[in-house]
């Protein structure tokens, strides 16, 4: 995932081979298969994404608005879904996420990262603008630069006018960068940092700990018995956690606490005032959204059922 805004750049790099990789893609959603030749003469916005990534989720309202505003003027938006976690390789999961998140533009499945490699991409999210002759003319990695990106779209299309108006809320609301002091934190061993053996009330800022019977693999931690928990001392408006149940139709109940108490009006979209919620599908869960002043808090989530998988904390 890409955790911060990064700069946007205009370029004239030729990437005919990049679009040519679309020709070999095995699966498409929202569209018949698109080809490099079929896209010639159109401006193409290539959006690399993976559906559990908070940084991409916060860009989606803008990509959707551009798709709707410019599709009749020659713009084609192609979302390239390149999975970060194992469950994101599952086409049914991507299809459900596409539907639930309201992704209406064409989506191509890039499980083998062939399209990713053809663009020499390294980030989620990443936007590339390809002109009518198949040349990359602009790219941006990460969040932000929305006005700059839209100006580049208009220039390549040869159109003028005011930019789109976007009211991004809920999961897509921009991070509160002024109060955000906690970084993306992976739970699996391959990229884990700052894990502690201290109890929840003894953690320092951005330390986290597991309690209960957990098995930690490269990608995720898996709970072996009920009543296991994860604690994290954080500072941010939002706390999110990517979670997965053991199987479809096997939900896992959980309870969230902030500083040992129910979250009340600081609950996220996926937890109630009392802190109760359910892991029903593999995705990102927004567990905390603080409405008032942001300060250091101790977050703790306890799972009442076994076999849940925890992947990564993100913040906003």
Residue 158 and residue 47 in contact, taking contact as beta carbons nearer than 8 Å:
no
* Cβ within 8 Å of residue 178, ≥6 positions away: none
> 125 preceded by cis ω (within 30°)?
yes
Tell me the pTM. 0.93
Residue 75 and residue 159 in contact, taking contact as beta carbons nearer than 8 Å:
no
- Domains of the chain (ranges; CATH) run 8-172 (3.40.30.10), 185-315 (2.60.120.260)
The CA distance from 284 to 57, in Å, is 10
First to last CA, the chain: 14
* Cβ within 8 Å of residue 51, ≥6 positions away: 81, 88, 93, 94, 97, 98, 101, 283
**φ/ψ of residue 230, rounded to 5:** -130, 135
Nearest one of 241, 94, 74, 69 to 146, comparing CA atoms:
69
Angle between helical axes of 146-157 and 60-70 (0-180°, round to 10): 20
Residue 83 and residue 92 in contact, taking contact as beta carbons nearer than 8 Å:
no
pLDDT tens per residue, the chain (316 residues)?
Answer: 544 444 556 554 444 448 999 999 999 999 999 999 999 999 999 999 999 999 999 999 999 999 999 999 999 999 999 999 999 999 999 999 999 999 999 999 999 999 999 999 999 999 999 999 999 999 999 999 999 999 999 999 999 989 999 989 889 999 999 999 999 999 999 999 999 999 999 999 999 999 999 999 999 999 999 999 999 999 999 999 999 999 999 999 999 999 999 999 999 999 999 999 999 999 999 999 999 899 999 999 999 999 999 999 999 9
Residue 234 and residue 268 in contact, taking contact as beta carbons nearer than 8 Å:
no
3-state helix, strand, coil in the chain (%, to 5): 20, 30, 45
Nearest one of 33, 89, 86 to 219, comparing CA atoms:
86
β-partners of residue 289 are: 238
The CA distance from 55 to 314, in Å, is 9
How deeply is 102 buried, as exposed, middle or buried, from its count of CB atoms within 10 A (0-12, 13-18, 19+)?
A: exposed
Residue 79 and residue 108 in contact, taking contact as beta carbons nearer than 8 Å:
yes
pLDDT for position 73: 97
The CA distance from 305 to 118, in Å, is 43
pLDDT for position 300: 98
């Amino acid at each position: 995932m890409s955790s911060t805004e990064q700069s946007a750049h205009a370029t004239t790099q030729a990437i005919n081979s990049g679009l040519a990789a679309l020709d070999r893609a095995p699966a498409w959603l929202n569209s018949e298969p698109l080809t490099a030749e079929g896209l010639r003469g159109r401006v193409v916005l290539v959006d690399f994404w993976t559906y559990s990534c908070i940084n991409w989720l916060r860009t989606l309202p803008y990509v959707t608005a551009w798709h709707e505003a410019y599709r009749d003027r020659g713009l084609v938006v192609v979302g390239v879904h390149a999975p970060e976690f194992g469950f994101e390789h599952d086409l049914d999961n991507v299809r459900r996420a596409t539907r639930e998140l309201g992704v209406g533009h064409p989506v191509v499945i890039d499980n083998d990262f062939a399209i990713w490699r053809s663009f020499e991409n390294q980030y989620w999210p990443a936007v590339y603008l390809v002109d009518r002759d198949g040349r990359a003319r602009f790219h941006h990695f990460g969040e932000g630069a929305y006005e700059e990106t839209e100006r580049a779209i208009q220039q390549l299309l040869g159109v003028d006018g005011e930019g789109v108006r976007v009211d991004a809320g809920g999961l897509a609301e921009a991070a509160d960068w002024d109060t955000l002091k906690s970084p993306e934190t992976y739970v699996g061993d391959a990229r884990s940092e700052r894990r502690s053996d201290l109890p929840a009330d003894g953690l320092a800022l951005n330390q986290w700990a597991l309690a209960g019977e957990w098995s930690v693999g490269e990608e995720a931690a898996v709970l072996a018995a009920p009543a296991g928990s994860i604690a994290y001392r954080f500072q941010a408006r939002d706390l999110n956690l990517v979670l997965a149940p053991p199987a479809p139709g096997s939900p896992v109940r959980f309870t969230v606490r902030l500083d040992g108490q129910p979250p009340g009006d600081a609950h996220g979209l996926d937890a109630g005032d009392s802190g109760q919620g359910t892991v029903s599908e593999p995705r990102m869960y927004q567990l905390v959204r603080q409405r008032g002043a942001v300060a250091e808090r101790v977050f703790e989530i306890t799972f009442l059922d076994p076999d849940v998988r925890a992947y990564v904390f993100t913040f906003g």
